[in-house]
Structure 1
């Protein structure tokens, strides 16, 4: 229940809708309660006419008026309940929107480490399941709970008025039924959690497989993936059987107790009617009231069933919402909230990044780093890059080059040491300010579904068409873009799958060019291009790097030769730092690469991610 109350507090902006639904529920309950009285009065009128106590004509007029009153009540109930249902639908959708947007907002600002341990598909499955269960329960409860509560209270009061033992039996049945139902909850929730875990894992794998379907097909893994998917879902069959057996066994006990108590209720009503304490109309009235009281009790099982699903879903939801974000992200979010009222829609609040006089643009100061609790992958990394300098990182695959880029972007924090930008520790800088000053072209040209123009302008959503086209021309992408039927408005599919690898990479380069950040990071930016395309794009990159501070993870020795300095890495440690000319004669890693290239040792070069 605490979880559900937390949802209400979390969505307090929906209070007007909650109130409207409750008002409609109250009116519906009141209208429903008048029906037994009308029918009871009509029964007495008919019995009086049949017994000769009232003239037939008078009785006919009375029952017709009562029938008209019943019609009016039913029509009113129909209108009011549908109005309440409309508010319930709107409330449910807004609730889903609020929960979804906040969940997405949270995910966007969680630290990179959190995503390293989660499957993308599992995150999406959890979102869909949790929020669907919560919103469905909220809609059901808002449309029926108030009505059930009011009806139950009124029935207890009316029953006590006619004969107090009836009210006593009703008062007894509710806590007993709820108690018996609560006995089911602990085991039911545990089994539901087990089932949800298997479904989430299977759904996560499903999304992963669909996203890499070409790999699955090329390795003929369709049957294996299907078998694993089926195994996880089939495992939920056994859990469901145990869950259902437990639930329905308890339901038999609950209903048996309910039937026993209502046997006593009906026995009292019938006996007192035969003894003349109740008229036929009062008997009909009380029987209908008992039926109205029984409905909420019998509904308790599916109400609790839905609530248990919602509670389980809310636990998964809040488990994510309670995950701590990076303190820099928290500060950024607080600043965003403060400035939201003052900004125009679609604009972005970006913090400031001041350069300390004389400080290098970026520097690593004795940095050690480890992923999770593993061994350090970087050891005492110490170097600085001055304004306008081009520095290349060279080393074996897995040597720490991309990890350095990740630290620079604030995706992770050093275990020891400091990463500085403009003389300031990046752990003290607003993340939006830090990342807005760094343009990145990754080895994997990560594009989004949508148009080519949208992908190029991803870092500057307000860029003009001419600015987008200019960036594409400088990245040597304009020509192939204009060959598409839609040109810059061409849809490129999920992750840009409708484009070749080289085309995707050139769009990624254009995106970095358009961002026009003072610091540029090229993480093997031309790795997907053939030699001809690389030369074409490299010209744009050379222009982009002019006057900018650039950090380059080398892919080809031709690129390395044009930089100001080279930093070689071995086993996560800096081996050498110097100009290409200096390192060419030092006998270190770079000199070895040059020798391997001259000897045509392409296999050994590939160890360093170098193609010559």
Structure 2
């Protein structure tokens, strides 16, 4: 019931549809209840007419007219039921579509609000599978429930009232049947849901792995892992077979018990009706009417089992849905502070000189509480300054960028970004990024270039495409900038994708630029072309560079070297070249021909 109430609160805008569907169900129920009365009346007229004919008195006057009118009444009831059921079905279909839209949109909105830390521990395929399964089960349940709830309630009340009017023991037996059946169903439900939760875990994991394998099919095939992946996938679903077997055995055992109890109670009801008819208390028409009412009385009880079954699926499915919806983005991000704009920060003592564009002040961070990737990082970047980060692989260079973008909160210290605005969205709008992984979307080349600035004109798109050496290969494509590139840009080479990512950052034209090994996937010719565009882009912008080649950082203003998660040295390329530190060591290794030195060079993600 709590699940149902939460869904209703989530979708309160659909109340007119719920009311309409229930009104339609009420009309259908009323038409259905009228049928036993019409049939019973017709039975009495026919029995009396047959008796009169057998006595030689002939057909009673008005008998034919009466049965014809009763037949027309049956037709009218059937037509009303047919018409209204289709109207209710239409409302139900529209309601389901709107509910799917509401639940899906709110789920997507919540995912967009959750921090990067959440996605670090979740498979994207699992997230998608959870959405599809949960919402399908919830919408199916709500549609069926809204159609059946009023029918069950009205039918139950009508049958109990009519039965009590004719003979009170009938109503007493029915009053015992309903709660007894509901109690037995509730006993079944608890164990059923526990098993269903376990099944959902396997299905979600299998679906998540499925999506991941499809997205990395080249890797799977390259390492000949098809059979292994298939076995893992098959193993998850084989686990669901055993769980389903136990679940089904429990369900059908209890269902057999429930139905046996129900059969005994209805046996007693039929005995009472037959005996009362034989002894003259009920007319044949009343007997027919009551038998039909008893058949109608079974439907709410049996439907209750089906509704509970669907409700269990909806409850189990919605549990994982609401687990995501209940996450507090602030809490899910972990403890720590995010980048702030000093103009929006609490008043502090004024500092001498111009305010830095970016300041890291005593920043420490780890992806979990037991280890630290960065510790006591302090530096300032001034407007228009180019700063490169150098250090061993895993030394925290990319983590610094993730903290600057607000993907994670710092454990200690804080980051200040001038002009960043009052929230993370404002911060990120002021930073252009080119990652080592281009991360393109399906769609056209023009759409991907304009992703950070969707209102850009075609002329602006083509301008940055020329500066980023994109125009060179686009000219050879039959559809030019309208060429579809496939999921993650799979129809393009690595260098082509990277050039599009560079053009995307150029078009965004943000005051802060981040180049996270931006030219690592380019050949020498493409790198030279792109680097010229990046040099233009970095002009008068605060730029942070993680370099794959030492040649790309030779012209920066300052280099910050990282060692063991701490800042080791800070200085210009010329200063650090002779300091004897990490940068000087890299320059030495780069010029060395020995295999040992080349091997050590790889530890720094540098290829010379």
TM score, norm. by length of structure 2: 0.94
Q: Distance in 2 between matches of 1:328 and 1:320?
A: 10
Alpha-carbon contact 2:390-2:561 (below 8 Å) kept: yes
CA deviation map 1:101-145 (0-9, x unaligned) = 000000011011111111111111111101110001011111222
Q: Does 1:29 align with 2:29?
A: yes
User: In the comparison of the two structures, how many residue pairs are matched?
Assistant: 588
Alignment gaps of 5+ in structure 1: 330-350
Alpha-carbon contact 1:328-1:430 (below 8 Å) kept: no
CA deviation map 1:157-185 (0-9, x unaligned) = 11111111111111110000000010011
Q: Does 1:463 align with 2:456?
A: yes
Q: 1:444 aligns with which of 429, 437, 448?
A: 437
Q: Distance in 2 between matches of 1:54 and 1:224?
A: 85
Give runs of aligned pairs for residues 7-22 of structure 1, distance below 5 A.
Answer: 7-22=7-22
Q: Deviation at 1:355?
A: 9.0
Q: Does 1:570 align with 2:574?
A: no
Q: Give the corresponding residue for 1:549.
A: 542
CA deviation map 1:12-59 (0-9, x unaligned) = 000111111111111111111111111111111100101118835622
Give runs of aligned pairs for residues 287-302 of structure 1, distance below 5 A.
Answer: 287-302=291-306
Alpha-carbon contact 1:328-1:431 (below 8 Å) kept: no
Q: Give the corresponding residue for 1:129.
A: 133
Q: Which runs of 4+ in 1 moved over 4 A?
A: 351-357
Q: Distance in 1 between matches of 2:60 and 2:490?
A: 83
Q: Does 1:582 align with 2:570?
A: no
Give runs of aligned pairs for residues 444-523 of structure 1, distance below 5 A.
Answer: 444-523=437-516
Q: Give the corresponding residue for 2:361.
A: 365
Label 1:308 to 1:450 Cα distance change in 2 as closer, same or farther (>3 A).
Answer: same
Q: Does 1:173 align with 2:177?
A: yes
Q: 1:269 aligns with which of 268, 273, 278?
A: 273
Label 1:433 to 1:54 Cα distance change in 2 as closer, same or farther (>3 A).
Answer: farther
Q: Deviation at 1:352?
A: 9.1
Q: Give the corresponding residue for 2:401.
A: 405
Alpha-carbon contact 1:377-1:572 (below 8 Å) kept: yes
Alpha-carbon contact 1:353-1:434 (below 8 Å) kept: no
Q: Does 1:605 align with 2:601?
A: yes
Q: Give the corresponding residue for 1:347.
A: none
CA deviation map 1:245-276 (0-9, x unaligned) = 10000011100110000011111111101011
Label 1:479 to 1:157 Cα distance change in 2 as closer, same or farther (>3 A).
Answer: same
Alpha-carbon contact 1:151-1:292 (below 8 Å) kept: yes
Q: Give the corresponding residue for 1:383.
A: 379
Alpha-carbon contact 2:434-2:514 (below 8 Å) kept: yes
Q: Give the corresponding residue for 1:107.
A: 111
Q: Deviation at 1:354?
A: 5.2
Q: 2:329 aligns with which of 325, 328, 350?
A: 325
Q: Distance in 2 between matches of 1:219 and 1:352?
A: 48
Q: Give the corresponding residue for 1:43.
A: 43
Q: Deviation at 1:609?
A: 1.1
CA deviation map 1:195-219 (0-9, x unaligned) = 1101111111111111101111111
Q: 2:312 aligns with which of 308, 311, 330?
A: 308
Alpha-carbon contact 1:113-1:372 (below 8 Å) kept: no
Alpha-carbon contact 1:48-1:54 (below 8 Å) kept: no
Q: Does 1:248 align with 2:252?
A: yes
TM score, norm. by length of structure 1: 0.94
Q: Give the corresponding residue for 2:337.
A: none
Q: 1:73 aligns with which of 62, 72, 77?
A: 77
Q: What secondary structure does 1:483 align onto?
A: coil
Q: Distance in 2 between matches of 1:260 and 1:169?
A: 10
Alignment gaps of 5+ in structure 2: 334-339, 346-352
Q: Give the corresponding residue for 1:209.
A: 213
Alpha-carbon contact 2:364-2:374 (below 8 Å) kept: yes
Alpha-carbon contact 1:120-1:204 (below 8 Å) kept: yes
Q: Give the corresponding residue for 1:591.
A: 584
Label 1:607 to 1:313 Cα distance change in 2 as closer, same or farther (>3 A).
Answer: same
Q: Distance in 1 between matches of 2:200 and 2:485?
A: 35
Q: Distance in 2 between matches of 1:326 and 1:548?
A: 31
Q: Indicate the larger mover: 56-65 or 495-504.
A: 56-65
Q: Distance in 1 between matches of 2:479 and 2:80?
A: 56
Q: Distance in 1 between matches of 2:180 and 2:399?
A: 61
Alpha-carbon contact 2:341-2:417 (below 8 Å) kept: no
Q: Distance in 1 between matches of 2:176 and 2:147?
A: 26
Q: What secondary structure does 2:329 align onto?
A: coil
Alpha-carbon contact 2:344-2:422 (below 8 Å) kept: no
Across the aligned residues of Structure 1 and Structure 2, the Cα RMSD in angstroms comes to 1.7
Q: Deviation at 1:303?
A: 1.0
Q: What secondary structure does 2:106 align onto?
A: helix
Alpha-carbon contact 2:359-2:380 (below 8 Å) kept: yes
